[in-house]
Amino acid sequence: MSAKHIFDKYLRKDKLPHIWCAGCGNGTVMNALLHAIENSGLEQDKIVVVSGIGCSSRANGYMNFCGMHTNHGRALAYASGVKMFNPELKVIVVTGDGDCMSIGGNHFIHACRRNIDITTVVFNNSNYGMTGGQYSPTTPSEAKTKTSIYGNMEPTFDICSIAAASGATYVARSTAYHVKMLTTQLEKALKHKGLSVVEAMCDCPTLYGRINNLGDGLAMFMDNKERAVTIKQAETMSPKDLQGKIVIGEFVNRTDIPEYTERYDQLIDKVRQAGANGGM
């Protein structure tokens, strides 16, 4: 009898092999997420994974949890509904830079504002990989894509800065290369009570990498290593020196902000008490 891998219970083997291109970083990010779930000791049947549309969202189909594959950009809206219906569930959103920060941008900032207990994992590969390689809100300025063949003229969203400014109480970033750091961040995010955002920088060699002459998956993987600097290192660098760098680490970790579903329960109790006392 062959030995079972620790993730046999977490993967839907009937859905494998996956559709991701050779060298894609999405599998590495999913692997880190599964390690984090295992390390967190969460009950498998109390986890719900919600995804939108895109290469990253396909991870939901390969993981053996209760799940919802929703409309483009709407994962956090559906996830909020799941969490409000049953706050005891651990709700995880897997989404991409295009899915989350473009059509889903409004849902993202308001989920952060509410501080609802959802773990949001953003697979950031700097383009719309599944639909042909168009530029996304996180495509670097001057980078080429199928819809910016002469270079992207638009400035770039900083996902972690937006999350922090909008009220998320746990915010972190790592890369597919820094997998141990990424796993630790995901584990902390899963244990956090409130809206947590972990941005995972991952490569797309087939579309983004090819059109920008960045080499194969391994070359892009190593590029993440070379461009990454820690928050502490970034504090000593000038804006010019930080251009093109990936700042990794933990940006926000707050426990003093009430979680949304708990506040909602308190509101229900307040309304009931008011009714018992004859109104407001």
- Residue 6 belongs to a domain: no
Q: Each residue of 133-184: pLDDT tens digit?
A: 898 999 999 999 999 999 999 999 999 999 999 999 999 999 999 999 999 9
- Residue 156 belongs to a domain: yes
| DSSP structural state of residue 246 | E
- Residue 241 belongs to a domain: yes
- Residue 51 belongs to a domain: yes
Query: Cα 135 vs. chain centroid, distance in angstroms?
Result: 18
Query: Cα 188 vs. chain centroid, distance in angstroms?
Result: 13
Range of the domain at 40: 13-276
> Sorting pLDDT into bands at 50, 70 and 90, what band is 277?
confident
Give the contacts of 85 (CB within 8 A, at least 6 positions apart). Answer: none
Other beta carbons within 10 Å of 268: 10
- Residue 98 belongs to a domain: yes
Q: Each residue of 60-112: pLDDT tens digit?
A: 999 999 999 999 999 999 999 999 999 999 999 999 999 999 999 999 999 99
- Residue 195 belongs to a domain: yes
Q: Each residue of 183-194: pLDDT tens digit?
A: 999 999 999 999
- Residue 208 belongs to a domain: yes
| DSSP structural state of residue 145 | B
Contact between 21 and 205 under an 8 Å Cβ cutoff? The reply is yes
- Residue 3 belongs to a domain: no
> What is the count of structural domains for the chain?
1
The CATH number that applies at residue 179 is 3.40.50.970
